[in-house]
Amino acid sequence: MRPHTTVYCAVSVDGFIAREDGSVDWLEAAGDASEEDYGYRAFVDSVDFLVMGRGTFETVRGFGAWPYTVPVVVLSQTLSPADLAEAHATDARLSTRSPRSLLDELGAEGARRVYVDGGRLVQSFLAEGLIDELILTTIPILLGSGIHLFGSRGREHGLEHQETRAYPSGFVQSRYTVRRSS
pLDDT at 32: 60
22: nearest Cα among 54, 67, 51, 69: 54
pLDDT at 156: 84
- Could you give the 3-state DSSP secondary structure of residue 18? strand
pLDDT (tens digit, 0 to 9) for every residue of the chain, 182 residues total?
Answer: 899 999 999 999 999 999 998 888 888 766 665 677 889 999 999 999 999 999 899 888 888 788 888 999 999 999 988 888 887 777 889 999 999 999 999 999 999 999 999 988 999 999 999 999 999 999 999 999 999 998 776 678 899 999 999 998 899 999 999 997 65
Helical ranges in the chain per DSSP H: 25-30, 40-45, 54-61, 81-86, 99-108, 119-127
- Could you give the 3-state DSSP secondary structure of residue 26? helix
Answer for the pair 91, 136: CB distance below 8 angstroms, yes or no: no
Please give the domain boundaries of the chain with CATH numbers for all domains.
Answer: 4-178 (3.40.430.10)
The per-residue b/e assignment along 141-171, b for 16 or more CB within 10 angstroms, e otherwise, is bebeebbbbbeeeeeebeeeeeeeeeeeeeb
4: nearest Cα among 111, 109, 84: 111
pLDDT at 72: 94
Answer for the pair 48, 73: CB distance below 8 angstroms, yes or no: no
Q: How many CB atoms lie within 10 A of CB 34?
A: 9
pLDDT at 71: 94
- Could you give the 3-state DSSP secondary structure of residue 11? strand
